[in-house]
Amino acid sequence: MRIRSGDRTDVPLLLAFGDEAVAWMNARGNTQQWGTAAWTGDPKREEQFVKRVETGGLRILEDDDGTPLGAMVITEDCQVYVPAAEERELYVNFLIASRAHSGRGIGRTLIDRAKHEAAEKGIDLLRVDCWAGEDGNLVKVYESYGFTPVQEFNVGEWPGMLLAMRLSEQASQ
């Protein structure tokens, strides 16, 4: 597998990953995390991804043959619905793995890349937020990557969890 920087031309890929995830979640009865509508063809969703991609923080994980496996957007700015850090940070604004390739460590590989990029920039704090519904299953995934829950929050009816990781603590373990 390899990771490349992405750009505007990758927005349809991100939307397709979202379509896969929404269908998979809905089939499991989860209609709250990302709703029930396909992302492809949604102008608002497309505009959100264009803005995210323009930060320069899009990373695409591909198989050796070029097959896209997952994507991540990292920036030094957190989401508007969580409190800003009191220090410089790298924030995982978006992380998704293709459902067709689940079980291959895609999320972990991308988080490892975020840790590497933070360290290269001299940043010790890596943060992410995620949906905290469904008994916190996604929170547990991020904990398995080395994140620690920091704060619960809600965006309307959507329950979320802010998580953080200190690279200096990870290095000492």
* 26-47 confidence digits (pLDDT tens): 888 887 787 788 889 999 999 9
Q: Which residues contact 31 (CB under 8 A, 6 or more apart)?
A: 25
The listed CATH number (3.90.950.10, 3.40.630.30, 3.40.50.2300, 3.40.50.720) that belongs to domain 2-171: 3.40.630.30
Of 40-44, 54-58, 132-136, 159-163, the poorest mean pLDDT is in: 132-136
Burial (Cβ within 10 Å: 0-12, 13-18, ≥19) of residue 17: buried
- What pTM does this model have? 0.90
Distance CA 30, CA 133 (A): 9
